[in-house]
Structure 1
Amino acid sequence: MLLRTLPSIVSISLWFAGLLLTSMAGSAVAQSRILATPGAMQVEGAAGGGLVPWAVIGSYANEGEWGASAALTKVAVQDFSLTSAALLVGVNNRFEFSYGHQTLRLGDTAADELSTASAGAYPYLTIEQDVFGAKAKLLGDLIYGDLPQVSVGAQYKINRNADLAEQVLGAESDSGVDVYLSASKLYLNAVAGRNLLLSATARYTDANQLGLLGFGGDKSAALVGEFSAALLLNRHWAAGVEYRQKPDLLSSVDENAWADAFVAWFPSQRVTLVAAYADLGNIALWDKQRGWYLSVQINN
């Protein structure tokens, strides 16, 4: 119950707490992993791309080390904005623990439309969600050997404003658990002498729009696929695409796959910046939700 009553200021507080954690960790451990190999932090807090997790373990901590990362992400499309503040801790390059706080807000025009349609019941729609994540490396390695790195992960999500999803759209619950299995591999000198990263994830989920529209519905939980490809242009720059299938469990609204095309900049192990053009398809009553994605990440 306490998690459902935290104030919306938690996003800002979490961001500064993450900066403090990464600063403290940076003075305590060595960082021996290769630049860019932890990827970025996705909108739910796990290490990977922007939309999907990869098999990599977050932070630059290697065996015998621990590290931390904090990210602030903003996605702005036609009728919505999504803000995510997240932090993670990586241990021994084998275990990852993360927490993310998401805030979804309607734009003014969409809010007016919803207020009119629902007789004023939801005049200023804001949805907040907490995501607690864990990931463990099972086998393989991102760079070395023939096998890809394979990791298993879980995300426990709590939607603290699920009234609209439950009462209007037919969602069954305000919380749920996603379980996923990821395989990622970096192929050296694969394209014109440049390195290519490929990643695939299978996710079992009952989350509607990541859980922002509640969990469950008319249909059962589904197994969906998530895919990423990134070309490392040089040591500091990467460009790629992502695709994330969605479960589409509510008969009242269509849920489309998400996709993006991104550019990532790794000026140093301390900073990661990701910019993207994102296509989120239909969200609730609004279709063709396309716009920009920007993430700023600090690593220890």
Structure 2
Amino acid sequence: MKRVRVNGLRIFQCAAILVAGLASSSAWAGWYNNGKVLLTGGVFTVDGAGGGGAVPWATISGYETRDGINGSAGFTYVNLPALQVSFYGVNVGFYDRLELSYVDSRLSLNLPNLQTVALVLDAVDLGDSVGTDVWNSTLPMQTYGVKLRLFGDAVYTSDSWIPQVSIGGLYKVNGNKELVKTLGADKTKDYEIYLAATKILFPLSTLVNVTARYTSANEDGLTGFGYCHNNGLGTGDCKNKRKVRAEVSIAHLVAKNTAIGGEWQQHGNNTGGQSININGLNLTTITNVLSNLGLDLGDSLKQKNEGDWYDLFMAYAPNKHISFTVAYLMFGNISVAPDQNGFYFSTHLTF
């Protein structure tokens, strides 16, 4: 099998070394600032931005005020019945105005139906062309992000009904081009733009965030962007039409260092109902051949309708340097895997 070369981990390691060097230097001491209220910068999202687990907030990550800089590093692990995802990333907040972020992610698909296809394709030397693996098919992705606070202050203007509003951009690059195409996506890399509004209601100890994201992503981009609905002959309709999707987060502070809440993230349904593809051909014919050989896969190679993402979370921050988040995830269908509900663990370091 061909190995996909992704430099994201190397970039992350270099960034971590750079941040560590800055943190130990005398120059960093003059820039460092952590004056914001505990947990108000959010935790490390799967996209790298400050916010909830999946939804970026208008707040700038970290605890810096407008007088300094604060850096963060995060790790997230998602465990679902048929897949696992890990996220490693860093971000930096500048003067409570600008945020830069980077995340390297790995989605592992442990699906018997895909493994069967991979075994057959390996036997005829076609495995490399579709990016599948007999034991574990992996989709790596790198996400580069930027967020700019436009107006408002969620923390220091709590007596005003005007929320903090930020605009952000994400550029996502999927490293397994062949597997993304096999799963029916049109593109392996694309950009997203979002507008987030966050309001902290201090009398209720509650944060409310609403985000509008302009995107064509399939499963947050982990399985590509857009769709190619083919006719079984290697030709068909390929589009990457972006739409605005809604996202909501609500977090309630039950103690000064503990928050509970939930999120909803609207998703599209670009590839639902379509068979996975091999070199532009869908697998309807191949499925019939496998059935004749005693390998009856039925509709298991058809993409399920993509579901919205929901989660219920608890975040705990013993101090301003570390926080932990656990969540129960309700992701619905992902690619050819139905009913993907499971658990999420994340740790967020700030310095």
The answer to whether the superposition gives a TM-score over 0.5 is yes
The structure richer in strand per residue is: 1
Q: Which residue of 2 aligns with 1:187?
A: 201
> Are the equivalent residues in 2 in contact too, given 1:32–1:61 (CA < 8 A)?
yes
Q: Which residue of 1 aligns with 2:116?
A: 116
Shift of 1:162: 2.6
C-alpha distance in 1 between matches for 2:335 and 2:148: 33
**Would the alpha carbon gap of residues 217 and 246 (structure 1) be closer, same or farther in structure 2, given more than 3 Å must change?**
same
**Would the alpha carbon gap of residues 15 and 266 (structure 1) be closer, same or farther in structure 2, given more than 3 Å must change?**
farther
C-alpha distance in 2 between matches for 1:84 and 1:11: 14
Q: Counterpart amino acid of 1:136? A: L
C-alpha distance in 1 between matches for 2:310 and 2:6: 31
C-alpha distance in 1 between matches for 2:83 and 2:11: 17
Q: Secondary structure at the match of 1:282?
A: coil
Q: Which residue of 2 aligns with 1:230?
A: 251
Q: Secondary structure at the match of 2:325?
A: strand
> Are the equivalent residues in 1 in contact too, given 2:139–2:179 (CA < 8 A)?
no
> Are the equivalent residues in 1 in contact too, given 2:16–2:90 (CA < 8 A)?
no
- The percent identity for this pair of structures is 31
**Would the alpha carbon gap of residues 21 and 217 (structure 1) be closer, same or farther in structure 2, given more than 3 Å must change?**
farther
Is 1:37 aligned to residue 40 of structure 2? yes
Shift of 1:223: 1.1
C-alpha distance in 2 between matches for 1:277 and 1:289: 11
> Are the equivalent residues in 1 in contact too, given 2:12–2:104 (CA < 8 A)?
no
Is 1:63 aligned to residue 75 of structure 2? no
Q: Counterpart amino acid of 1:56? A: T
Shift of 1:23: 3.9
C-alpha distance in 2 between matches for 1:228 and 1:41: 14
Q: Which residue of 2 aligns with 1:295?
A: 346
Q: How many residues align?
A: 289
Q: Structure 1 stretches of 5 or more lacking a match?
A: none
Q: Counterpart amino acid of 1:100? A: V
Q: With structure 2 as the length reference, what TM-score do the two structures score?
A: 0.78
Which of residues 138, 142, 154 is equivalent to 1:130? 142
Q: Structure 2 stretches of 5 or more lacking a match?
A: 122-126, 229-238, 275-302
Q: Counterpart amino acid of 2:254? A: L
Which of residues 46, 49, 72 is equivalent to 1:46? 49
Which of residues 177, 192, 203 is equivalent to 2:213? 203
The 10-residue stretch of structure 1 (86-95 or 143-152) with the greater mean CA deviation from structure 2: 143-152
Q: Which residue of 2 aligns with 1:5?
A: 5
**Would the alpha carbon gap of residues 160 and 241 (structure 1) be closer, same or farther in structure 2, given more than 3 Å must change?**
same
Shift of 1:146: 2.3
Q: Secondary structure at the match of 1:100?
A: strand
**Would the alpha carbon gap of residues 183 and 290 (structure 1) be closer, same or farther in structure 2, given more than 3 Å must change?**
same
Shift of 1:15: 8.6
Shift of 1:6: 2.8
Q: Deviations along 1:182-232, whole A, 9 cap, x unmatched?
A: 001110122xxxx01000000010111111111111562221000000100
RMSD, aligned α-carbons: 2.1
Q: Counterpart amino acid of 1:231? A: H
Q: Counterpart amino acid of 2:116? A: T
Q: Deviations along 1:121-160, whole A, 9 cap, x unmatched?
A: 3222011100000000011111313211000000000001
Shift of 1:172: 1.1
> Are the equivalent residues in 2 in contact too, given 1:223–1:247 (CA < 8 A)?
no
